[in-house]
Structure 1
């Protein structure tokens, strides 16, 4: 009697399900077209944004209109004017004609020419105008009445300081000059005669001491 090992039978292998159908393959041309259209639309939107008319908000417009109506004017009292003007009342305004000089050079030349008893303070106003700020009446009198002054051969305009002086709007209407009378006979070196000559030229300010005393021709 033969002994046999029973034969082992494997279970049947399950059949896998059918794979799903792949989705439609993407169309690269369609994507590029969509991307191009988006970029074009962005450009159009940007152009429209740049070309649009800018409108000021109403609140800003109202503020500007109110500002123009009110004019934002600050009114000074007489006490404030006196306080503001007092430090400048002895000052003079100058301008060099025909030549533009640096601030340091002009200040040095004026100090050498005038030889004042106080330090010279020179302030640039623009348009070739300067303020010489003074604190001594003697200094102001010397500058105004003991010239005609020249700086490196150029005439120096001098006028008393005035409030609200605007260099750009300033116009020259008068200036102080020396009038020479060459070969005037000495018999006419008379105060009354010289005053009459001066009055014919303008408002007489001063007669040269040597001329009035007949010390020099």
Structure 2
């Protein structure tokens, strides 16, 4: 599986967002991750569709990955796609029809997938996997950046990777987000994750590009060592 690193704009310096987005591109990140919070599904409020529009305008070639932490993502999906989202994820725990949501996003020609809170069993995702390009495991409680990594999610990652492979869904990407650094990313990779969202850990680096390259190499070597 190809390892991908996605810096989360939630941890950027909001006083110079355009420069921070250009910094992500210069660091050769695989995508820019946008965390969208509605202050209802999670106890925090972040960006709207205009942030995806800004990212597209500032660096058109930087892939835009959007995670909707919203009670009704189905009401806003089209707005984010129109604004430039190229992958759009929403929570399996959201108050909407997940089947309909996945189909509607795919019909727009956009990659999609479901997100799981740390407390939700991995099996909650199993029925939907044929419609998912990727799934995201939250390794912290969603809503705020800078939290400590929750290692109890690791067995769920491994269980989902094994289930997906057994069902012939070998191309399914598994993403992790929350408390991700060099060490925790390697742990997740060992259990079958191949996409890594990191916020404060990457944005605090004086050389983000060097750290992304190191993380990509470390995770590539660690990938799947706990699931073989």
Scaled to the shorter chain, the TM-score interval is under 0.3
Return the TM-score normalized by structure 1. Answer: 0.20
- Bigger RCO (CA 8 Å, 6+ sep): 2
Higher-strand-fraction structure: 2
Return the TM-score normalized by structure 2. Answer: 0.19
Which of 1 and 2 has greater Rg? 1
